[in-house]
A = this chain, B = another copy of it.
Amino acid sequence: MGIKDIAEDFAALCKAGQHEEAGARYWAEEVVSREAMEGPMAEMRGVAAVREKSAWWFANHEVHSATTEGPFVHGDQFALRFEMDVTAKQTGQRLQMAEIGLYTVKDGKVVEERFFY
């Protein structure tokens, strides 16, 4: 699969609310996930850690609505724009988030995901 097909499939899964399936299908073993914040979530290395981070996030947030726009492709990278309306379960705080995910693909797998907000 070329970058466009991978980007389209990854985006389609996110649009269907299947973010974890998108990861399961495309994360490389050595994937690195980077957040634009300090702390323990800033950089997770390896598919097991990234899967755990994702599971933690979905377990700790109630998602009221979510949209995914894209993909936007360039070379071996693609970008998606996410909008989410969520409540953090621990604090009860509801917030509307807009962010961009930038994915780098190598040998048909996502080797880095980097989130901008």
Q: Do B36 and A116 have beta carbons less than 8 Å apart? A: no
Number of copies: 2
A36 to B70 Cα, complex, angstroms? 14
Chain B neighbourhood of A98, CB < 8 A: 69, 72
User: Interface code A62-106, partner B: CB below 8 Å = 1, 0 otherwise?
Assistant: 000000010011110111010000000000000000111010000
Known contacts A100-B100, A102-B102; is A115 also within 8 Å of B81 by CB?
no
Instruction: Report B-chain residues with C-beta under 8 Å of the C-beta of A81.
Output: 81, 100
Interface residues on chain A, size class: 10 to 19
A56 at the binding interface (Cβ < 8 Å): no
A34 interfacial contact with B, CB 8 Å: yes
Further 7 A-B residue pairs, CB within 8 A, beyond A36-B74, A36-B75, A79-B100: A73-B117, A77-B116, A79-B79, A79-B116, A81-B81, A81-B100, A102-B102
7 A-B Cβ contacts within 8 A? A34-B74, A69-B98, A72-B99, A74-B102, A79-B79, A79-B102, A102-B102
Binding site for B on A (CB under 8 A): 34, 36, 69, 72-75, 77-79, 81, 98-100, 102, 114-117
